[in-house]
A = this chain, B = another copy of it.
Amino acid sequence: MSAILTPLELRKRIRSGEHEGNTSGYAQGFVQCNIVILPADWAAEFLQFCQLNQKPCPLVGMAAQPGQTGLPDLGADLDIRTDIPSYRVFENGQLTSERSDIKDLWREDLVTFALGCSFSFEEALTADGLEVRNISEGGNVPMYRSNIACRSAGRFSGDMVVSMRPFKAADAIRAVQICTRFPSVHGAPVHLGDPALIGIEDINRTDYGDPVTLNENELPVFWACGVTPQVALEQAKPPFCITHSPGCMLVTDLPNSRLAVM
């Protein structure tokens, strides 16, 4: 009965190893976050990159100072070293290990960033009666490297990764309205219609995630995606960096509705 766990209960199960893997569908109604952990001498530039590219990198919270393991604004009794089901460790831009906690890797110079994730707006779309194709087909959302350039900040740069969900036109218009209310989880779509106009040559060939059915009377609708900062990190190659593993998010105590700007 995972759906009735509170975010705190879920985090405790994750911490104890009782819950492993994907957090999708758990603690519904609460914000889940992408996590990036960087040494302090890279943190200021990454913060600026997020500030300049808010649609793909919407900052929901960050540690108040280096070394801080709690994020009290995001969750009670939260420990960033243990409360994510799976972490990825990168050295010089290379994935070097995947692990269920980072206690022994923790350093006093590490700064934690929590970025909004599409789960929140997908929940808002579903609640409005729209069909979110990647959910109904049970796959990972299709994602593509677009040719929309992010604005650079110091050593961070790259093109925007976008996620795609197909909708009939009237539903696409409704999706724009719904997602506009949620700027901190990627906000309104960045493109709809012809994929070639943003550098996507074959909609059936995803760069991440799984393809979904796109019917003839539907438009592909593209959102800025939280994989964008991961691509920027791969390119910037900081000596040390930790992220969550795809789909294994930080579950917060923030209700999704609190992210609505109106």
Contact = CB atoms under 8 A, between A and B. Distances in A.
Contacts of A177: 176-177, 180, 188
A97 to B, nearest CB: 40
A192 B169 contact: yes
Contacts of A190: 170, 173
Contact of A219 (B176, B180, B193, B217): B193
A139 B24 CA distance: 51
Given A197-B217, A217-B197, A262-B262, A191 B169 contact: yes
Interface string A185-220: 000111111100100000000000000000001010
A103 B169 CA distance: 46
Contacts of A180: 177, 180
Given A176-B176, A176-B177, A180-B177, A169 B197 contact: yes
A172 interface: yes
Interface in A150-193: 168-170, 172-173, 176-177, 180, 188-193
B172 A192 contact: yes
A34 B191 CA distance: 34
A144 to B, nearest CB: 15
Contact of A173 (B169, B192, B217): B192
A180 B197 CA distance: 25
A219 B193 CA distance: 8
A136 B117 CA distance: 40
A52 B54 CA distance: 39
A26 B197 CA distance: 38
A168 B190 CA distance: 11
B173 A189 contact: yes
A76 B172 CA distance: 41
A86 to B, nearest CB: 34
Determine which residue in A170, A188, A262 has the highest number of CB atoms from chain B within 10 A of its CB, and name it.
A170
A168 B198 CA distance: 11
Contacts of A193: 169, 192-193, 219
Nearest to A168: B197
Contacts of A188: 173, 176-177
